[in-house]
Structure 1
Amino acid sequence: MLTGLTFPVIPALGKPLAILAACYMVYTMVRAALALRDSIDERYSHFPSASERPIKSFLQIATIVVYLVALIAVVSLLLERSPVYLLTGLSAITALLIIIFRDSLLGFVASIQLAAYDMLRVGDWIEVPGYVADGIVIDIALNTIKVRNFDNTVVMLPSQLLLTNSVKNWRGMVASGARRLRHAIHFDVDTIRYPDDALLAQLHAAIEQPLVTVEGERRTNLGLYRHYLSGYLRAHPAVRRDMPLVIRHVQSTTAVVALEICVFIDEIRWERYEALLSDMLDHAYGVVPFFGLRCWQRERSVSAPSGR
């Protein structure tokens, strides 16, 4: 292999120096390959699709391949054997290598699947129950996914975990531009009744929105409240009218009646969303006493402050 490399000045050192020179050539080629990798990474980071389809895991795979080829080349030079001879020996201990590098191989396969099926992107908001991960993906590597939680803590998750466990990705919510408000209000069943003339007069005097019956249907005070709340939400400027708005009865395990509000708000920013949610629920609870209703609490049913 090195017969063409001679050092006539120092014949005794000719062969070792030739091997050393060949190893240095391998080292130089590795440095060149890594420089090319860094250049590709830098150029790709400026493309708009870089955040949607990161190539960091693929570059790490390429790095491993470069180091593996360099290692085989150096060992074959030192042993003065053909690389084919070394590869034949490695095939005999393949099972042992698979056991040793099991996690790395599984992470490698998982990262390929995540990238190929566009299951995860940098910037996605994900939740992984049981692993204290609820935040934004900031890095996707070969074996790990780095998530910054909303309390600014950073969680490192194995890539394989996202394929074997249930993961909630909020990307669809962000793309739609709307976030769901879902909340249940529980009422004391003893306060649900048909309204009398005095209650109807009070409602018409206290609430600007007209309360009418549909085709002469007689409503309870809870039905009037549900009808009013539906109109209030449909008229709210932050509510998406192209998405479902549902106020429904839900089954409760206790002796109460529960109404669940399901509506989509035209806001995905956390701070603004929470402010809108609080304002809507404050209003929903605030008008309860006007309908002669009481909200239920676990220990005892407590009358809401009178609206009269």
Structure 2
Amino acid sequence: IPTHKFIEGSFRNWRGMQNSGGRRIKRAIFIDLNSVKFLTDKEIGHLSKYEFLQGYMAEKNEELSSQNAQKSDETSVIPDLRRLTNIGTFRAYILHYLRENARIHQDMTLLVRQLAPGSQGLPLEIYCFASDTQWAVYEDIQSDIFDHLIAILPEFELRVFQEPSGSDVHDLLKA
């Protein structure tokens, strides 16, 4: 590459990505904060049947039971007790889903985290690496993951945050 090309414009060096064998996926789903809640016993029973959640639910229930048992029955009230939430359980589901996905590079960083909530809801960020670096394949992997996660949100009684659109305003005016 001629030296003057470095000054004339920008360029991106893709060699590191190609050599590593993984292409980064870093995207968030914005969750409607009004849908975040504690799980009921019925919901815990339902979600415990999911293979991806069985280990998490058993471990978390044991942890919470142990910590809550340390509180005095006379002084503790429901808000003082730790409980499972739909957002935390969904986060655990995503992590297990990605760990079981053969198209995700398992030897590279893989995490699911909450970012600071804002006017567009609670960002739940997925950070992992696709095992194929070809652009079209990478986009397919990323799309498949988010198709699944958005479609399964109602199982956790969560909603994606969405700005009101023209049809929302129209429906509101008709009511």
TM-score, shorter chain, exceeding 0.5: yes
What amino acid is the match of 1:277?
A: Q
Structure 1 residue 251 and structure 2 residue 94: aligned? no
Residue among 39, 43, 48 paired with 1:204: 48
Which aligned pairs between 1:15-26 and structure 2 lie closer than 5 A?
none
What amino acid is the match of 2:63?
A: G
Displacement of 1:161 = 2.2
Task: Tell which structure's C-alpha radius of gyration is larger.
Answer: 1
Unaligned stretches of 5+ in structure 2? 65-82, 169-175
Distance 1:172 1:179 in 2: 10
Which aligned pairs between 1:141-156 and structure 2 lie closer than 5 A?
143=4
Displacement of 1:202 = 2.5
Displacement of 1:159 = 4.2
Which aligned pairs between 1:170-181 and structure 2 lie closer than 5 A?
170-181=14-25
Distance 1:236 1:159 in 2: 39
Runs (4+) off by over 4 Å: none
| 2:8 alignment partner in structure 1 | 161
Distance 2:133 2:120 in 1: 36
Structure 1 residue 184 and structure 2 residue 31: aligned? no
Question: Deviations for 1:155-207, whole angstroms, at most 9, x for unmatched residues?
Answer: xxx44225xxx6432221111110011110111111111100121222234x3
| 2:104 alignment partner in structure 1 | 239
Change (3 A) 1:159 1:187: closer
Distance 2:30 2:137 in 1: 26
What amino acid is the match of 2:146?
A: L
Residue among 113, 128, 140 paired with 1:275: 140
| 1:266 alignment partner in structure 2 | 131
- TM-score (structure 2 length as normaliser): 0.73
Q: How many residue pairs were aligned?
A: 144
Change (3 A) 1:176 1:199: same
Structure 1 residue 292 and structure 2 residue 157: aligned? yes
- Taking only the aligned residue pairs, the percentage that are identical comes to 32
Q: Is the 8 A contact 1:202 1:290 kept in 2?
A: no
Unaligned stretches of 5+ in structure 1? 1-53, 58-110, 112-142, 144-157, 303-308
Displacement of 1:272 = 1.4
Displacement of 1:251 = 2.1
What amino acid is the match of 1:246?
A: L
| 2:63 alignment partner in structure 1 | 216
Distance 1:298 1:169 in 2: 37
Q: What is the RMSD of the two structures over their aligned residues, measured on CA atoms?
A: 2.2
Q: Is the 8 A contact 1:178 1:268 kept in 2?
A: yes
